């Protein structure tokens, strides 16, 4: 079953008096539970594609369905709810809340979902353990290494049991050893939680971890194999 269905997706950005096309008609299907990598050079449109799938940016043209729901015509409140309930994000620069400690950062989305504090804490603790941060739950992000921060981000992205986790260049700010461990972790979480992972990268070393690779160039998918 496809969790994502994209048809003729176009995204243009105005730049002064000119229009810059970032995506020029993308067709893509992603199967549930996939561990997929989008690769391509800088400016190819991979981040834009992730942003549109993640309801962070809006399509200029085309259709994007996430979990069967057409997301291109929804208002801010609805897309925020989709981001909260269906999508998890892992950012290149970790983007943790600096004033919250590890466990509070992980449970943050659950509290936004109005889960009880006890329930949220239980689930967050479970994920902290799964990502190997059991000993650091009281630490603030500033007290963690880059790899540890990204582990927190992974746990936070998974805490709501989302349908999809989107990771934009998750290893770009990490050294190769740490980056590899993060990808190992993502892969393991994909297996444990059965969550669909889509991550963008232009690092060739990362590709070996992907079950499926989609190449993007100049806003178009190149030779993408059909989804299962």
Partner 1 sequence: MKLMLTIAWRNILRHRGKSLVIGAILFTGAFLMTVGNGVITGMAAGVETNIVNGFMGDVVLVSDAQKSDNILLPLMGSSIEPITSYKRIKPILAAQPYIRHALPVGKNLAMMLDEKTDTPGFAYLIGADFEEYRKMFPDNFKVTEGRYPRPGERAMLFPTFARGEFYNFYNIWFLPEGGAVVKEHLSKEALAAGAALPVSSSVVMMGMTSGINSTNDLRFPIKGIVEYKALNQIFGHFCLVDIESYRECLGYFTAADMAAQVPKEEKKLLALEGADLDSMFGGEDMMVSGAGAAREKKKAAPSGAAKTAEDGTYNAVFIKLNPGATYKRALASLNAALTQGQAGVRAVSWNKASGPIGSMAVIIKVALFLFVTLLFCVAVIIIVNTLTMAAIERTAEIGMMRAIGAHKTFIAGMFLGETAILSAVFGGFGITAGVVAVRVIPLFRITTTNDILQILYGGNFFHPLLSLSGVALTVLQLLAVTVAAALYPMRVAGGITPLEAIARD
Tokens 């600096």, residue located: 98
Q: What single DSSP character describes residue 159?
A: T
Smallest gap, in angstroms, from Cβ of residue 95 to partner 1? 4
Which is nearer to partner 1, 82 or 216 (by Cβ)?
82
Cα 211 to Cα 23, 51, 88, distances in angstroms:
24, 21, 19
Tell me the C-alpha distance between 109 and 124, whole Å.
10
Interacting residue with partner 1 among 1, 73, 77, 223 (CB under 8 A): 77
Instruction: Answer yes or no whether residue 108 interacts with partner 1 by CB under 8 A.
Output: yes
With CB under 8 A as the rule, give the number of residues binding partner 1: 34
CB neighbour list of residue 68: distance below 8 Å, 6 or more residues apart: none
Phi then psi for residue 19, to 5 deg, are -110, 125
228 belongs to the binding site for partner 1 (CB under 8 A): no
Residues 6+ apart with CB under 8 A from 126: none
60: contact with partner 1 by CB under 8 A: no
Question: CB of 208: closest distance to partner 1 in angstroms?
Answer: 26
Q: Say whether residue 193 binds partner 1 (CB under 8 A).
A: no
Interface ranges with partner 1 (CB under 8 A): 47, 51, 54, 56-57, 76-77, 80-81, 83-85, 88-89, 91-93, 95-100, 104, 108-109, 111-113, 117, 156-157, 160, 168
């Amino acid at each position: 079953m496809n969790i994502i269905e994209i048809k003729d997706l176009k995204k243009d950005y105005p730049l002064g008096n000119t229009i810059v096309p970032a995506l020029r008609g993308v067709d893509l299907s992603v199967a549930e539970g996939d561990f997929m990598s989008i690769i391509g050079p800088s400016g190819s449109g991979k981040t834009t594609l992730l942003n549109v799938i993640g309801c962070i940016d809006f399509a200029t043209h085309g259709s994007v369905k996430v979990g069967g729901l057409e997301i291109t015509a929804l208002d801010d409140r609805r897309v925020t709810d989709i981001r909260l309930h269906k999508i998890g994000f892992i950012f290149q620069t970790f983007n943790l809340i600096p004033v919250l400690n590890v466990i509070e950062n992980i449970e943050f989305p659950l509290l936004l979902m109005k889960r009880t504090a006890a329930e949220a804490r239980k689930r967050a603790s479970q994920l902290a353990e799964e990502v190997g941060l059991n000993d650091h739950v009281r630490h603030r992000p500033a007290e963690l290494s880059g790899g540890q921060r990204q582990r927190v981000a992974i746990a936070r992205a998974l805490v709501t049991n989302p349908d999809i986790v989107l990771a934009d260049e998750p290893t770009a700010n990490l050294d190769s050893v740490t980056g590899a461990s993060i990808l190992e972790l993502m892969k393991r979480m994909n297996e444990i939680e059965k969550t669909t992972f889509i991550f963008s990268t232009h690092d060739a070393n990362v590709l070996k971890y992907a079950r499926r690779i989609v190449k993007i160039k100049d806003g178009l998918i190149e030779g993408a194999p059909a989804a299962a």
